[in-house]
Chain A
Amino acid sequence: MPTVHDWINNPLAVVDGLFAQSNSSPDWEKKVVEYFKEKLKLNDAHTWVPSLNDVPLYYLKPNSLVKFRCMVQDMFDPEFFMGVYETNDLTSNSKVKCGKYKDITVGGQVDFNSRNTVTSERQTFYCVPIPGESQWAKEISFICQARVVPSTSYVPNRHKRSYEEDDEMDTQPQHSAESHGNTEPKRQETEAPSHDSSSAHCTSSLDLNFPLPGEKGPACLVKVYEDWDGFKLNDMLEVFGILSVDPALSVIADEREASSLLDPTEVTETVEEQRVHSPPPSLVPRLHMLYAQPLVHNNPLLPSSAPENNVHESSLATYTDVLGELASVRAELHTYLTHVLMGDSLAAEYLILHLISNVYSRRDVLPLGKFTLNLSGCPHSSPYTEHLYKVIQQLVPSSYRLCMSLHNMNNQRMVPRKDYTANRLVSGTLQLANNTSLFLDETQLEQGQLDATGVRNITALGNLISWQKVDYDFNYHQMEFPCNINVLITSEGRSLLPSDSQVNLRPTLNPPNLEEYLSAVQVAQVPSQFNKYRIYLSGARALNYTISDEITKAVEEDFVEMRKDDPQSMSAEDLHRLLVVARLLSLSHGQNTLSRDGWMKAKQLEALRISRTQQQKSLSGNEP
Chain B
Amino acid sequence: MFSPSSQSRKRDPPTPASEDPLSPPSQRSRAHDTSTELQPMPTSPAMDTAAQDVSLFSSPMAPRSVLQSEVDASSPLMYGTPSSRVEGTPRSGIRGTPARQRADLGSVRKAPQVDMHSEPSFDFCEQGAGQRLVIWGTDVNVGTCKEKFQRFLQQFTAPNSREEENAGLDLNEPLYMQKLDEISVVGEPVLNVNCSHIQTFDADLYRQLICYPQEVIPTFDMAVNELFFDRLPDSVLEHQIQVRPYSALKTRNMRALNPEDIDQLITISGMVIRTSQLIPEMQEAFFRCQVCVFNTRVEVDRGRIAEPAVCRNCNTTHSMALVHNRSAFSDKQMIKLQESPEDMPAGQTPHTTVVYAHNDLVDKVQPGDRINITGIYRAAPMRLNPRQSQVKSVYKTHIDVIHFRKTDEKRLHGLDEDGEQKLFTKERVAMLKELAAKPDVYERLSSALAPSIYEHEDIKKGILLQLFGGTRKDFTQTGRGNFRAEINILLCGDPGTSKSQLLQYVYNLVPRGQYTSGKGSSAVGLTAYVMKDPETRQLVLQTGALVLSDNGICCIDEFDKMSDNTRSVLHEVMEQQTLSIAKAGIICQLNARTSVLAAANPVESQWNPKKTTIENIQLPHTLLSRFDLIFLMLDPQDEAYDRRLAHHLVALYYQSEEQIEEEHLDMAVLKDYIAFARTSVHPRLSEEASQALIEAYVDMRKIGSGRGMVSAYPRQLESLIRLAEAHAKVRFSSKVESIDVEEAKRLHREALKQSATDPRTGFVDISILTTGMSATARKRKEEVAQALKKLIQSKGKTPAMKYQQLFDDLRGQSEAAITKDMFDEALRALADEDYLTVTGKTVRLL
A229 and B347 alpha carbons, distance in the complex (Å): 10
304-355 of chain B: CB within 8 A of chain A: 304, 334, 336, 338, 341, 344-354
Asked if B393 and A102 make an inter-chain contact with CB atoms under 8 angstroms apart, the answer reads yes
Tell me the smallest distance from the CB of A587 to a CB of chain B, in Å.
13
A113 and B382 alpha carbons, distance in the complex (Å): 15
Asked if B259 and A80 make an inter-chain contact with CB atoms under 8 angstroms apart, the answer reads yes
A477 and B543 alpha carbons, distance in the complex (Å): 12
Tell me the smallest distance from the CB of B54 to a CB of chain A, in Å.
26
Taking CB atoms, residues of chain A closer than 8 Å to B379 are 80, 119
Tell me the smallest distance from the CB of B385 to a CB of chain A, in Å.
7
Asked if A78 and B351 make an inter-chain contact with CB atoms under 8 angstroms apart, the answer reads yes
Q: Select which of B259, B388, B651 is within 8 A of A248 by beta carbon.
A: B388
Contact size range, B: 35 or more
- Count of A-B contacts judged by CB separation below 8 Å: 236
Quick check: is B667 within 8 A (CB to CB) of the other chain? yes
549-571 of chain B: CB within 8 A of chain A: none
Quick check: is B132 within 8 A (CB to CB) of the other chain? no
Known: A364-B451, A366-B452, A552-B647. A77 touches B653 (CB 8 A): no
Known: A233-B348, A265-B396. A118 touches B117 (CB 8 A): yes
Tell me the smallest distance from the CB of B620 to a CB of chain A, in Å.
26
- The 0/1 profile, CB within 8 Å of A marked 1, for residues 268-283 of chain B is 0001011000010100
- In the complex formed, the residue of A with least CB distance to B334 is A268
Quick check: is A255 within 8 A (CB to CB) of the other chain? yes
Known: A560-B639, A560-B643. A552 touches B650 (CB 8 A): yes
Which of B31-39, B243-251, B816-824 contacts the other chain? B31-39
Asked if B262 and A119 make an inter-chain contact with CB atoms under 8 angstroms apart, the answer reads yes
A81 and B397 alpha carbons, distance in the complex (Å): 10
Known: A233-B348, A559-B646, A573-B496. A112 touches B37 (CB 8 A): yes
95-129 of chain A: CB within 8 A of chain B: 99, 102-106, 108-121
Q: Select which of A119, A249, A556, A583 is within 8 A of B114 by beta carbon.
A: A119
Known: A475-B273, A563-B642. A425 touches B349 (CB 8 A): yes
Query: What number of A residues sit within 8 Å (CB to CB) of B?
Result: 88
- The 0/1 profile, CB within 8 Å of A marked 1, for residues 3-44 of chain B is 000000000000000000010001111101011010000000
Quick check: is A361 within 8 A (CB to CB) of the other chain? yes
Asked if A575 and B649 make an inter-chain contact with CB atoms under 8 angstroms apart, the answer reads yes
- In the complex formed, the residue of A with least CB distance to B282 is A264
Q: Select which of B347, B368, B498 is within 8 A of A572 by beta carbon.
A: B498
A475 and B654 alpha carbons, distance in the complex (Å): 39
194-223 of chain B: CB within 8 A of chain A: none
| Max chain B Cβ within 10 angstroms of own Cβ: one of A249, A259, A363 | A363
Quick check: is A617 within 8 A (CB to CB) of the other chain? no
- In the complex formed, the residue of A with least CB distance to B274 is A420
Quick check: is A455 within 8 A (CB to CB) of the other chain? yes
Asked if B115 and A556 make an inter-chain contact with CB atoms under 8 angstroms apart, the answer reads no
Taking CB atoms, residues of chain A closer than 8 Å to B259 are 80, 119-121
Quick check: is A571 within 8 A (CB to CB) of the other chain? yes
Asked if A365 and B505 make an inter-chain contact with CB atoms under 8 angstroms apart, the answer reads yes
Asked if A233 and B392 make an inter-chain contact with CB atoms under 8 angstroms apart, the answer reads no
Known: A81-B393, A364-B667, A547-B654. A115 touches B35 (CB 8 A): no
A255 and B392 alpha carbons, distance in the complex (Å): 15
Quick check: is B111 within 8 A (CB to CB) of the other chain? yes
- In the complex formed, the residue of B with least CB distance to A575 is B649
Tell me the smallest distance from the CB of A288 to a CB of chain B, in Å.
11
Taking CB atoms, residues of chain B closer than 8 Å to A80 are 114, 259, 262, 379, 394-395, 397
- In the complex formed, the residue of A with least CB distance to B28 is A115
Q: Select which of A119, A259, A455, A474 is within 8 A of B350 by beta carbon.
A: A474
Asked if B347 and A477 make an inter-chain contact with CB atoms under 8 angstroms apart, the answer reads no
Quick check: is B60 within 8 A (CB to CB) of the other chain? no
Tell me the smallest distance from the CB of A546 to a CB of chain B, in Å.
6
Asked if B392 and A476 make an inter-chain contact with CB atoms under 8 angstroms apart, the answer reads no
458-492 of chain A: CB within 8 A of chain B: 459, 467, 474-477, 479-482
Asked if B347 and A119 make an inter-chain contact with CB atoms under 8 angstroms apart, the answer reads no
- In the complex formed, the residue of A with least CB distance to B356 is A265
Taking CB atoms, residues of chain B closer than 8 Å to A579 are 649-650, 653
Taking CB atoms, residues of chain B closer than 8 Å to A552 are 647, 650-651, 654
Taking CB atoms, residues of chain B closer than 8 Å to A111 are 32, 34, 37
- In the complex formed, the residue of A with least CB distance to B644 is A556
Asked if B643 and A556 make an inter-chain contact with CB atoms under 8 angstroms apart, the answer reads yes
Asked if B386 and A567 make an inter-chain contact with CB atoms under 8 angstroms apart, the answer reads no
A79 and B368 alpha carbons, distance in the complex (Å): 24
Quick check: is A564 within 8 A (CB to CB) of the other chain? yes
Asked if B646 and A258 make an inter-chain contact with CB atoms under 8 angstroms apart, the answer reads no
Asked if B496 and A572 make an inter-chain contact with CB atoms under 8 angstroms apart, the answer reads yes
Quick check: is A323 within 8 A (CB to CB) of the other chain? no
A576 and B387 alpha carbons, distance in the complex (Å): 68
Asked if A109 and B389 make an inter-chain contact with CB atoms under 8 angstroms apart, the answer reads yes
Quick check: is B383 within 8 A (CB to CB) of the other chain? yes
Q: Select which of B258, B395, B657 is within 8 A of A361 by beta carbon.
A: B657
Known: A118-B117, A552-B654. A110 touches B391 (CB 8 A): yes
Taking CB atoms, residues of chain B closer than 8 Å to A106 are 390
Tell me the smallest distance from the CB of A221 to a CB of chain B, in Å.
12
A234 and B115 alpha carbons, distance in the complex (Å): 35
260-280 of chain A: CB within 8 A of chain B: 261-266, 268
Known: A80-B259, A560-B643. A423 touches B352 (CB 8 A): yes
Taking CB atoms, residues of chain B closer than 8 Å to A110 are 381, 389, 391
Taking CB atoms, residues of chain A closer than 8 Å to B35 are 88, 109
Taking CB atoms, residues of chain A closer than 8 Å to B26 are 113-115, 117
Tell me the smallest distance from the CB of B520 to a CB of chain A, in Å.
7
Asked if B637 and A479 make an inter-chain contact with CB atoms under 8 angstroms apart, the answer reads no
Tell me the smallest distance from the CB of A266 to a CB of chain B, in Å.
7
- In the complex formed, the residue of A with least CB distance to B397 is A80
| Max chain A Cβ within 10 angstroms of own Cβ: one of B354, B393, B454, B647 | B393
Q: Select which of B338, B349, B451 is within 8 A of A363 by beta carbon.
A: B451
Quick check: is A75 within 8 A (CB to CB) of the other chain? yes
A233 and B347 alpha carbons, distance in the complex (Å): 6
Asked if A115 and B652 make an inter-chain contact with CB atoms under 8 angstroms apart, the answer reads no
Quick check: is A191 within 8 A (CB to CB) of the other chain? no
A120 and B393 alpha carbons, distance in the complex (Å): 10
Quick check: is B761 within 8 A (CB to CB) of the other chain? no
Quick check: is B65 within 8 A (CB to CB) of the other chain? no
Asked if B382 and A266 make an inter-chain contact with CB atoms under 8 angstroms apart, the answer reads yes
Taking CB atoms, residues of chain B closer than 8 Å to A255 are 385
Q: Select which of B28, B30, B390 is within 8 A of A105 by beta carbon.
A: B390
Q: Select which of B347, B390, B504, B653 is within 8 A of A365 by beta carbon.
A: B504
| Max chain B Cβ within 10 angstroms of own Cβ: one of A77, A475, A477, A576 | A77
Quick check: is A85 within 8 A (CB to CB) of the other chain? yes
Taking CB atoms, residues of chain A closer than 8 Å to B115 are 113-119
Asked if B508 and A363 make an inter-chain contact with CB atoms under 8 angstroms apart, the answer reads no
Taking CB atoms, residues of chain B closer than 8 Å to A480 are 508
Quick check: is B608 within 8 A (CB to CB) of the other chain? no
Q: Select which of B112, B347, B398 is within 8 A of A113 by beta carbon.
A: B112
Asked if A571 and B646 make an inter-chain contact with CB atoms under 8 angstroms apart, the answer reads no
Quick check: is B450 within 8 A (CB to CB) of the other chain? yes
| Max chain B Cβ within 10 angstroms of own Cβ: one of A266, A366, A423 | A366
- In the complex formed, the residue of B with least CB distance to A475 is B273
Quick check: is A232 within 8 A (CB to CB) of the other chain? yes
Asked if A563 and B22 make an inter-chain contact with CB atoms under 8 angstroms apart, the answer reads no
Quick check: is B771 within 8 A (CB to CB) of the other chain? no
Tell me the smallest distance from the CB of B271 to a CB of chain A, in Å.
6
A-B contact pairs, 29 of them (CB 8 A): A78-B351, A80-B262, A81-B394, A82-B381, A88-B35, A103-B393, A112-B113, A113-B113, A115-B115, A119-B114, A119-B395, A248-B384, A248-B388, A248-B390, A249-B392, A263-B108, A263-B380, A268-B334, A365-B508, A366-B501, A366-B652, A368-B653, A421-B274, A474-B338, A474-B341, A480-B508, A482-B347, A552-B650, A572-B635
Lowest 3 A-B CB distances belong to which pairs? A232-B347, A112-B112, A559-B646
Q: A74-B349, A78-B257 are in contact. List 9 more A-B contacts (CB 8 A).
A: A111-B37, A117-B26, A117-B114, A248-B388, A264-B281, A364-B451, A368-B653, A559-B645, A571-B635
